Chains A and B, each alone.
Chain A
Amino acid sequence: MAANFWISSQYKELLDQEEVDVVHQLDKERGITLDDFKLIKLHMSNYVARLAQNVKVRQRVVATAITYMRRVYVRRSMTEYDPRLVAPTCLYLASKAEESTVQARLLVFYIKKLYSDEKYKYEIKDILDMEMKVLEALNYYLVVYHPYRSLAQFLQDAGMNDATQLTWGLINDTYKMDLILIHPPHLITLACIYIASVLKDKETTAWFEELRVDMNVVKNIAMEILDYYDGHRSISDERVNAAMSKLAGR
């Protein structure tokens, strides 16, 4: 499994976009639309990243945490599983799974520091309770393959080492979408390299052709990433707040 994505639980559990884009009945009743749903997950991905910066864990831990959070909401409602608790809990669990354990009290300390809003206020006990619920919601599948893994090798092979930082940044941004639930990670890597090559005006057609991967899928992922960047400009704090306000209070 660790060496072979194709026999991993992640591969077996890959979903279609239509399966990911389902707003839970309980959330619908609160007026949460598909747009709100995506927006809240985006906002929570940013929350995880901010917290991670403060507790100082590496990008892979952030990526795993966001993947957990997105997986949770394929199966559970935001009404029953408050994202403002699920997000830090996923970071907590991911830190253990990725061998960089962060103490719960440290997370709680930074949560309070980052958000004065009462709705974000959770205590250690809440995180520990939620940890078990998250484990259950994940069906105990904890190993996550990320697009970062094959990046260096691909860039080297494509003669694009100078685009490392750019591509790395693009991959980071893919976690603001649900791509990791839908596509094999190396295809996400390739989509990011494809975008980087276009931005850097590098000719990579021959290299991609030799890879024997479905370029249609790679291009579709790339389109989705570009669509995200287009749409990102229209995401205002007001829109995020409006979506967040539909979540249940405590």
Chain B
Amino acid sequence: MGDVRGNSNSNRPEWLQQYDLIGKIGEGTYGLVFLAKIKANRSKSIAIKKFKQSKDGDGVSPTAIREIMLLREISHENVVKLVNVHINQADMSLYLAFDYAEHDLYEIIRHHRDKVILSINPYTVKSLLWQLLNGLNYLHSNWIVHRDLKPSNILVMGEGEEHGVVKIADFGLARIYQAPLKPLAENGVVVTIWYRAPELLLGAKHYTSAVDMWAVGCIFAELLTLKPLFQGQEVKGTPNPFQLDQLDKIFKVLGHPTPEKWPTLVNLPHWQSDVQRIQGHKYDNPALYSVLHMSPKSPAYDLLSKMLEYDPRKRITATQALEHEYFRMEPLPGRNALVPPQPGEKVVNYPTRPVDTTTDFEGTISLQTSQPVSSGNAASGGMHGPHVMPTRSVPRPMQMVNMPRMQPQGMSAYNLASQAGMSAGMNPGNMPMQRGVAAQAHQQQMRRKDPGMGIPGYPSQQKSRRF
């Protein structure tokens, strides 16, 4: 693995020659993600995650180390597969190559909410959940806590042999929790706020695999309703894990936790120090089932409420969840979550990931003046070159593989609003959100590079991507 060394004399490291770069599909705090094809096997798509070189002379980022360390040891059908690691000595960057997954739960949910305006087929929901739990069960039985489960980290394979198979991705925050040298809480606060377990919000120091199960519960609810279950507003820029609004959103739906039901609650730092604010305002009629429009007697509701159990010690485990009645009744979960086995069922065609073909592996925007693009795009594409950054970031945060959603600089407010499905009025930065104009320009950047690119007159794929 990865015995190829970068060639410092050329722009393209040697190892890169084995891939055809298609374009950028994502960007996160620690780097970029690219879509590439293996030259030797054109049908095989690879997602390449590039870790930025560290700024302050601290070498390979601990996030990358953690991810490599775990992924080199684990192997499971429902966990993303690390196929290669590459090092480019020339610019001290590190590349992780994964099997490419065309979809993820964030995009699938969004597609149903905004495009088809139809809930996700019960077979698909159940199959996605089962596979997610199956992968998580594997991780937990190997003492690995993921710590950052959210819809965008749950990938689903596109057409091919593994069509509709769930892959848990992004192990940048994952930990082995047997005999850690430091309390897990010292690594800083983790888990995207909406999916964060109450014990974390209340400042728990030693947490367990139960935090992942809480996140699965939130994701399950979101698959059912197409809306995040607990959309709290994050207080940023504080190391304090205490997030009052998020807790409040949870209490509103589930009611207040009580020391009777959750005995160790009284030991949690914020339960004690913030008695006034946490225990003050009581919600009278908490009702998870009414939020979900479900019968409280249905097996799906029973399973969900067990995932959203306050006391982490009582919360259902992945092993137990897989045995739940919900998975034993029709429709039974299947391997291809996207295509129900029964003929005649409507199959939703999910859009493929948008690809920014103007960014190369170095992460620099190429103007690509020599790139033949049909129907006048060449001109506008070229013209837009210098403005690519703002254009690219406006339409929506780009979806990515294995990475947190892209947070273009200065655009975080919009990003939050768009994720939350909030109105423009909730946009504190007053960022312009005119989808029409921006999307038009955007689309030109978002076309998947055609394999025939470079042959004059060969029309580039005009497959429109979700705009």
Residues of A within 8 A of B (CB): 1-4, 8-9, 58, 60-61, 92-93, 96-101, 103-105, 124-125, 127-129, 131-133, 135-136, 139-143, 149
Contacts and interface: CB of A to CB of B under 8 A. Distances in A.
Given A136-B2, A141-B72, A104 B142 contact: no
Closest 3 CB pairs of A and B: A1-B73, A2-B143, A2-B176
Interface stretch (B54-62, B105-113, B312-320, B434-442): B54-62
Given A4-B142, A140-B85, A9 B60 contact: no
B106 to A, nearest CB: 28
Nearest to A60: B181
A103 B60 CA distance: 12
Interface in B391-425: none
Contacts of B89: 129, 132-133
A104 B56 CA distance: 10
30 contacts: A1-B73, A2-B73, A2-B144, A2-B176, A8-B73, A58-B181, A61-B181, A96-B65, A99-B62, A99-B181, A100-B181, A101-B62, A104-B58, A104-B59, A105-B57, A124-B57, A125-B57, A128-B57, A128-B59, A129-B92, A132-B60, A132-B87, A132-B92, A135-B85, A139-B1, A139-B2, A142-B65, A142-B69, A142-B72, A143-B69
Nearest to B71: A140
Interface residues of B, number: 33
Contact of B87 (A97, A105, A136): A136
Nearest to B74: A1
Contacts of B141: 3
Contact of A104 (B5, B57, B94): B57
B59 A140 contact: no
Nearest to A131: B59
B59 A149 contact: no
Contacts, number: 90
Nearest to A1: B73
B238 interface: no
B41 interface: no
Given A105-B57, A135-B60, A99 B72 contact: no
A246 to B, nearest CB: 27
Given A100-B182, A143-B69, 10 more contacts: A9-B73, A60-B181, A96-B60, A103-B58, A104-B59, A125-B57, A127-B59, A131-B60, A132-B92, A135-B85
Nearest to B68: A140
A99 B180 contact: yes
Contacts of B3: 136
A111 to B, nearest CB: 15
A3 B142 contact: yes
A104 B54 CA distance: 12
Given A127-B59, A140-B2, A93 B92 contact: no
A161 B72 CA distance: 36
Contacts of A141: 72-73
Given A61-B181, A104-B57, A2 B2 contact: no
Nearest to B89: A132
Contacts of A100: 181-182
A151 B110 CA distance: 51
A142 B85 CA distance: 13
**Residue among B65, B70, B144 with the most chain A CB within 10 A?**
B65
A105 B54 CA distance: 14
A186 to B, nearest CB: 14
A182 B143 CA distance: 25
B187 interface: yes
A163 to B, nearest CB: 21
Nearest to A100: B181
A152 to B, nearest CB: 11
Interface string B164-185: 0000000000011011111000
Given A127-B59, A129-B89, A132-B87, A140 B1 contact: yes
Nearest to B184: A99
B375 to A, nearest CB: 44
A9 B143 contact: no
Contacts of A129: 89, 92
A152 B69 CA distance: 26
Contacts of A96: 59-60, 62, 65
A89 to B, nearest CB: 9
A122 to B, nearest CB: 13
**Residue among B60, B74, B85, B182 with the most chain A CB within 10 A?**
B60
A139 B73 CA distance: 12
Contacts of B142: 1-4
A93 B181 contact: no
Contacts of B176: 2, 143
A92 B176 CA distance: 19
B344 to A, nearest CB: 43
